[in-house]
Every structure is written in structure tokens, then in C-alpha cells.
Amino acid sequence: MITKESSFEEWLQEKIPNLHSQLISWQTQIETIKENVIQNLSILQWEKEIDTFKMEETICNEALRQIEKEISELNTQKVKKEIDEIEKFENEYNDKLRLNDFLPEIKGFLEDLKWVDVANCITISTQKATRFQRSLFSQYVTDKYIERFDEECKKLNADFSAEIKQKGSKGNTLSKLTIKDRRPIDILSEGEQRAITIANFLAETSLNDKNTCIVLDDPVSSLDVERKEVIGRRLVEEAQQKQVVIFTHDITFVKCLERWGIKKRVECSKVVIRNFNKVSGLRDNNEPWIGTSVSKRIKYLRGNLKKNRT
């Protein structure tokens, strides 16, 4: 009838103690009746008298009315609000636990932002650095650089009395190339301009011994055969000192490089990149048909003719 030390028993003891006492008494009576019945059945005789048991409903009705009253007075909205507040507190607490792991990174980020703000407010003058760099350039680089540039111009048949002038700007020392105080583009042909450009490039790269490889992208585009021959010879000569990588679609220039490579005893390695079925970048070790020698073409055609006959 009642579970010991349950919430219901605690509620009864607090709210309706007389009902609690009555339930305990009733339960004791029922236990006694049960024992008498079991004893009579076990000996098959009616020795123990069975008392009549009657439970008054009025006292139970009082308990029911009390429960209904408390239910009616229960504020469900208030309970929901309290539950929401508890859940909010729990979520905030969990977020703080997770945030605690990132606090060192957040603090470091905020410190970096402070330094960035300070750095943005600082105005740095580069004039002093520019003047110092210009003096170093003049003292240690200019003479050697101009000497190398003049040598390259002669090798490339581009000796047009070009001059190198210095110009300082924002901490950098720039070099300006002029011919009779005019821009090369104003008085030189495209081939001559290209030769001057390559001469300038080779002169700059020769100043540093760590420059063991140079890369050129189509250095003879739109130039005549004679100019291609001169540039090809010079690049092969440069390949005797360092690795030279050239990207080009000019088959004539490729043949020029191969020919000078044989003469100068410089190894020449070719890689063909094809465009097939709208897909570019396909590597092929075979030469394009247009770049194949006549003897190789004849040999290839004879081989196909022999296959067709068989």
C-alpha cells in the first residue's frame, strides 16, 4: 500500500500525517489476515479466525482533494521558466569550459592586434635607406654590372652604347636603361630590344654565383632567323656554366639550340608538351612531325608503307 522512504511517503508525512498512520495500520492488519489465511490453508483446517477488514474511504478522499488542490496551484509556466534558466546556465557553463581551451590563442591574437594598430600608426621614412643602398650599389655593383652588360651586348650583336642609370624610390635602387638619353623602345627594333633585354638579364644573373639556373619563356618570339641564331648561340654558351631552361613553341629555335649544343658540346634535353583533344599539358618524348628531320620522316613513311603492303 505504501513504499517505505519514497517521495509519496514523505509527502504524506508532511501533508496528511493521519492518512500516513492509517495506511501503516491498515497494512499491518492486512499482513495479519494474510498470515492467518496461509496457516489455515497449509493445515487444511480453519483454526485461525479471520477478522473482517474494512477501509474507510473518507480519509483517502481527503488525500485526493489535497493532491488535486496542489495540482491546480502548480504554475506550469513558472516551472518551464525555471527549467529554461537551468538549461541556459548549463549551456553557458559548457561553453565556458570549451572556451577555456582557446583562451591562450585568443589572448595571443588580441596582443597581435595591438601591435598591428601601433605599427599602422608609425610613419617610416625610407630616404636614408635609399641613399645608403644607392651608395652601396654604386660602390660594389654598378661598375661590375655595367661591364658585364657591355660584354653581353657585344656577344648578342646589340652594342648600341646603352647606358645604365640609377634611380632611388621608397627604399629600392632601380636601374634605368637608356640609349642616347632615350628609351630603347623609341629607337630600337623589336629584335634589338629583345637582345638588350636578354643582355641585361644575363648580366644581372652573372653577379651572383648562387644563380645556377636561369629560365626563359619564349625569348625569340617574333624575331628573325639571324637574331634567333645569335641568341641561341649565346644561351648555349651560358649553359656551359649553369643550367638553362627554355620554354618555346618555335621549332626553328629548338633546332638552332640543338645545333649549337652539338658544336659547343653541351647536353640538350627536350620535352614536348602537347595539346590533344582540348587537353593541354600532355608530355610526349616524340618530336613533333614538323620538327622531325627529312631522313626520319622518310624512314617513318617507308615503315608505314611496308606495314600497309603486308
Residues 6 or more apart whose CB falls under 8 angstroms from that of 239 comprise 261, 264, 266
Same domain, 278 and 146: yes
Into how many domains does the chain fold? Answer: 2
> Going by DSSP bridges, is the β-strand pair 243-247/172-179 parallel, antiparallel, or unpaired?
unpaired
pTM of the model: 0.49
Cell of 277: 583533344
Same domain, 282 and 145: yes
- Residue where a domain stops, chosen among 35, 52, 74: 74
- Residue 138 in any domain: the answer is yes
- Residue 122 in any domain: the answer is no
Same domain, 49 and 196: no
- Residue 107 in any domain: the answer is no
- Residue where a domain stops, chosen among 42, 59, 74: 74
The Cα–Cα gap between 261 and 264 comes to: 5
Same domain, 172 and 290: yes
- Residue 294 in any domain: the answer is yes
The Cα–Cα gap between 177 and 196 comes to: 9
Can you say whether the dihedral through the CA atoms of 248, 253, 258, 263 is positive or negative?
negative
- Residue 293 in any domain: the answer is yes
Query: Per residue of the chain (310 residues), what is the pLDDT tens digit?
Result: 677 888 878 888 888 888 888 888 888 888 888 888 888 889 888 877 777 777 777 777 877 888 888 777 777 777 788 888 999 999 999 888 888 888 888 888 888 888 888 888 877 677 776 676 666 666 555 677 778 888 888 888 887 666 666 555 554 555 666 665 567 677 777 888 888 889 888 988 888 888 899 999 999 887 888 999 999 999 999 999 999 999 998 888 998 999 999 999 999 888 888 777 777 777 776 777 677 777 877 888 888 888 887 6
Same domain, 172 and 301: yes
Same domain, 20 and 163: no
- The amino acid occupying position 195 is A
- Residue 84 in any domain: the answer is no
- Residue 266 in any domain: the answer is yes
Same domain, 68 and 171: no
Neighbouring C-beta atoms of residue 251, cutoff 10 Å: 13
Same domain, 57 and 140: no
Q: Check which CATH number belongs to the domain holding 302 and give it.
A: 3.40.50.300
Same domain, 173 and 268: yes
Same domain, 133 and 215: yes
Same domain, 61 and 201: no
* Containing structural domain, residue 16: 7-74
Same domain, 285 and 167: yes
- Residue 167 in any domain: the answer is yes
